[in-house]
Amino acid sequence: MKIADLYIRVSTDEQADKGYSQRSQEEVLVRYCQANQITVRKIIYEDHSAKTFNRPQWEKLIAFLKQHKNKSDLILFTKWDRFSRNAPDAYQMIAKLKILGVEPQAIEQPLDMTVPENKMMLAIYLTAPEIENDRRALNVFYGMRRARKEGRWMATAPVGYINKTLEGGKKTIVFNEPQASILKSAFKELSKGNSTVVDVWRQAKEKGLKCSRSHFWNAIRNPAYIGKIVIPKLKDEESYAVDGLHEPLISNSLFYDVQEFLNGRKRPVKARVVSGEMLPLKGFILCPVCNKVLTGSASKGCKTYFHYYHCKSPCRYRLNAKMVNNEYESHLNEFSLNPKIGELFKMVILDVYENCYDSTREQKRQLVDQVTILNNRITKARELLLEGDIDAADFKIVKSECGYKIEVLESKISEIKSEFIKSSEVNDILDKAVDNLCRLDAMYTKSVGYDQREIISSIYPEKFTFEEIKVRTAKIGDPFKIIYLINKKLDGKKNWTAGEILPLSNWVLPTRFELISMVPETIILSIELREQYCANISYFPVPVSSYFKLLKCF
């Protein structure tokens, strides 16, 4: 009497769609064994796909057969698609079982393996379910591609979103707070270009972002966050993006700013210099002997620490940090804005700001012109394609490159007004900024650490030298150069007689003296200051929005 193992396999979708069940298969197999006087040694139940033989229960069965040869003569199943849906793998497994002395057999599709012609029927039985699987997979693939073209997200929701089923059974993705807000702030931080991607990811993790580092890298490259669905390349159809049905998390301009930073086309990241509270000038001072940058450290005395700025080179030059800090604080008085000139200062800045704000129209017009040129380039390439002067591959390259540039320019056009502060907010910013500029020395004294270094770097764009505990002449930032001129009443270059008391620079044209001599001194300063701004634009860097960012620091 032969001994058989009964193999019963069903996958979840088959059981739901086709009515297969383990009980019905078991009943048919047991009845067959009773009718043919076959002893049932073991019944194996499997709930796994038949695309491969990497199935838990099947692997256990093969391992048992290897250890206990001649314990079974047959492995019975109802049909060959219960055995496998992959013809090449099935042939290999049949050969493997033959070595183990076991014959696989389907009771509803019986085949005598000793008859060579039956191998053709076996190929049909094995290939038919494989074809069915492939057709089903292809239908699913094209169905998902069509859904993507309609703007639907067809996968697990990206970071910051969550999958949701709407009324009517339609599926979409919606914001998942607070993950969405944390990721949005991460995009804003990256767009500044002041931190590395890893640093931003760590900051987001501390705020509660649930995302690995590699997943974060993929997320900040994903156009889904601007409401775009990417359609992958397929055969002759190039990859492109369509508008998604979900709500975008960030604006187009913010996303492309981050891409510019990731591609290395934005300013490099500047690492922060860490300095103690007693060494705010660390990294700013040059050695007067060897012209190298001084570092700082503390020496322990009997009862306390003494801080010094010193050079690492053999010259061993050093300065007492306390004396240098005190001298620098007193030196800041020269750059504190005269309170009497504060209102005039605001008036001039507002005047220049309004003029620069008008220039946005010209900037927008230039961007629109660039978009028009790119569209014309695509049109010309299409005409060349129709005339046969270029092939389809070249046309696709031109269309793809121009399309990307047009998308970037259009995002800049839509966001161009956001670069300027609203007029209603300008006065508030100026009031606070001018008030802080009038008490710059006091604000520096109250600040600590990085805030003090921000003030120092805004005044001195280049490193300077202390010699004999005095600040030697150094290059001053443009805004503070203007303040310095105002405090000195712009009289540093007078070349007229001492009897003339007009506090004006000799840059002013002679015809202006007759006009100004009849008005009060404050109006004279106002006109002179306007003249300085308009005549020498280097005193007021462009764009103006960057100047207001500086004022926000104060």
pLDDT of 16: 42
CA–CA dist 278, 325 (Å, integer): 8
pLDDT of 348: 76
Answer yes or no: do 554 and 431 share one domain: yes
Q: Which residues constitute the domain of residue 553?
A: 337-438+477-554
Joined tokens for residue 40? 């049932």
pLDDT higher than 70, residue 138: yes
Residue 51 lies in a domain: yes
Helix (H) or strand (E) holding 410: helix 392-415
What integer is the mean pLDDT of 457-469? 71
For residues 136 and 545, the model is more confident at 136
Residue 145 lies in a domain: no
Answer yes or no: do 224 and 119 share one domain: no
pLDDT of 373: 92
Given 136, 153, 181, which residue is the final one in a domain?
136
Given 89, 121, 136, which residue is the final one in a domain?
136
For residues 9 and 364, the model is more confident at 9
pLDDT band at 258 (very low <50, low <70, confident <90, very high): confident
User: Residue holding tokens 């907010």?
Assistant: 425
Question: Is residue 149 within 8 Å of 220, Cβ to Cβ?
Answer: no
Joined tokens for residue 442? 């006091």
pLDDT higher than 60, residue 257: yes
Residue 151 lies in a domain: no
Q: How far separated are the first and last CA of the chain, in Å rounded?
A: 97
pLDDT higher than 60, residue 307: yes
Answer yes or no: do 188 and 279 share one domain: no
pLDDT of 181: 92
CA–CA–CA angle 420, 421, 424 (5° rounding): 140
Answer yes or no: do 461 and 521 share one domain: no
Mean pLDDT over each residue of the chain, to the nearest integer: 77
SS3 category, 465: strand
Bridge-based pairing state of the strands 318-320 and 228-231: unpaired
Answer yes or no: do 490 and 540 share one domain: yes
- Given its phi and psi angles, is residue 490 left (phi above 0), alpha (psi -120 to 50 degrees) or beta? left
Q: What is the 3-state secondary structure (H, E, C) of 126-173?
A: HHHHHHHHHHHHHHHHHHHHHHHHCCCCCCCCCCCEEEEECCCCCEEE
pLDDT of 327: 81
Residue 144 lies in a domain: no
Give me Rg for the CA atoms of the chain.
39
Residue 153 lies in a domain: no
pLDDT tens-digit readout, 160-212? 999 888 877 788 889 998 999 999 999 998 888 888 888 899 999 999 998 89
Q: The pTM is what?
A: 0.44
Bridge partners of residue 213, in order along the sequence:
none
pLDDT band at 417 (very low <50, low <70, confident <90, very high): low
pLDDT of 423: 58
pLDDT of 6: 92
pLDDT higher than 60, residue 528: no
SS3 category, 411: helix
Answer yes or no: do 59 and 16 share one domain: yes
Bridge-based pairing state of the strands 171-175 and 161-165: antiparallel
Answer yes or no: do 352 and 404 share one domain: yes
Answer yes or no: do 198 and 88 share one domain: no
pLDDT higher than 60, residue 246: yes
pLDDT of 516: 35
Residue 22 lies in a domain: yes
pLDDT tens-digit readout, 85-111? 888 888 889 888 888 889 899 998 888
For residues 208 and 291, the model is more confident at 208
pLDDT higher than 70, residue 10: yes
Given 74, 103, 136, which residue is the final one in a domain?
136
Residue 62 lies in a domain: yes
For residues 19 and 468, the model is more confident at 468
For residues 507 and 266, the model is more confident at 266
CA 338 to each of CA 345, 392, 521: distance values in angstroms, whole numbers, following the listed order = 10, 68, 15
Residue 147 lies in a domain: no
pLDDT of 129: 81
Answer yes or no: do 278 and 396 share one domain: no
Domains identified in the chain, total number: 4
Answer yes or no: do 508 and 393 share one domain: yes
Answer yes or no: do 372 and 487 share one domain: yes
Question: Worst-scoring range by mean pLDDT, 108-122, 194-208, 332-346?
Answer: 332-346
SS3 category, 453: helix
CA–CA dist 533, 543 (Å, integer): 14
pLDDT higher than 70, residue 395: yes
pLDDT band at 252 (very low <50, low <70, confident <90, very high): confident
CATH of the domain at 201: 3.90.1750.20
What integer is the mean pLDDT of 46-54? 84
pLDDT higher than 80, residue 495: no
The closest of 108, 97, 109, 50 to 73, measured between CA atoms, is 97
Answer yes or no: do 417 and 508 share one domain: yes
